A and B are shown apart, each in its own frame.
Chain A
Amino acid sequence: MILQTTRFGSVDVDEQRLIEFPAGLLGFSQARRFALLQPDERGVFFWLQSAENPDLAFVVTDPSLWSDEFAAPLRPEQSEEIGLADVADAQTFVIVNRRGGALTANMQGPLVISAVTRRGVQVVLAERRWSTRHELVRLEGAQVASA
């Protein structure tokens, strides 16, 4: 299927590879289906592009690349909701933002996706240790300027 996107133009994606968030994301409950777009070889930052709203896309990254200690515990009902039978099938992403000369990640609201069912959920972590604006890395001058 062809996705119309504001940022990337028309993108041809295999419908089987879309990721569904049955409950949507917080604040975006209407956007259920997304494509994970990979802009480069490095596979560190991805765009989570809405299949329904051309203008809606989030930058996401795998938190395990940035922290050894981060974990997103799921309640059994959440595992069931996304059809996650085996924790090894879970893929976690966090939404990235650019703020004050740094890249930050929303570690308090991670996205957990079953790689098997391709369904996901945005988890709310009760732990205060992880914030919605966890600094990942400082940006260099040119990268800040492009913000």
Chain B
Amino acid sequence: MLVLSRHIDESIMIGDDVELTIVDIRGDKVRIGINAPSSVAVHRKEVYEAIRTENEQAARFRGSIDGMPLPKARETPRATRGIRLTADQRPPRRESA
């Protein structure tokens, strides 16, 4: 990993169009300003990690979704249509995880 030292108000360029500026330093917290084109996604890493972790856990969902509770204030059903499963293709209602 490349490590650079910067003072407040100094910047780092990444490529031609991503600029990171050290805005403020207080104790163990650094405030960083980011100038980047809208095509570059900028997020706190922990948000990515949380979504990845949740995807991985949701992929372990076992059992059936038959009989799951419906939304309380159900609006007019949307025209969402999936590919219909036949009864024998549905997983059993009770299945150990």
Contacts and interface: CB of A to CB of B under 8 A. Distances in A.
B52 A27 contact: yes
A45 B68 contact: yes
Contacts of A42: 70, 77
Given A26-B51, A39-B66, A65-B75, A59 B81 contact: no
A103 B52 CA distance: 18
Contacts of B53: 27, 132
A124 B47 contact: yes
Nearest to A75: B38
Majority DSSP secondary structure for residues of A touching B: mixed
Interface residues of B, number: 45
Interface in B54-82: 54-59, 61, 63-72, 74-75, 77-78, 80-82
Interface residues of A, number: 57
Contacts of B43: 124, 126
B56 to A, nearest CB: 5
B95 interface: yes
Contacts of A38: 81-85
Contact of A57 (B39, B59, B71, B80): B59
B61 A109 contact: no
A9 B54 CA distance: 25
A59 B91 CA distance: 13
Interface of B: 38-39, 41, 43, 47-48, 50-59, 61, 63-72, 74-75, 77-78, 80-85, 88-91, 93-95, 97
Given A37-B85, A39-B90, A43-B81, 6 more contacts: A8-B90, A65-B71, A124-B41, A132-B51, A143-B69, A146-B64
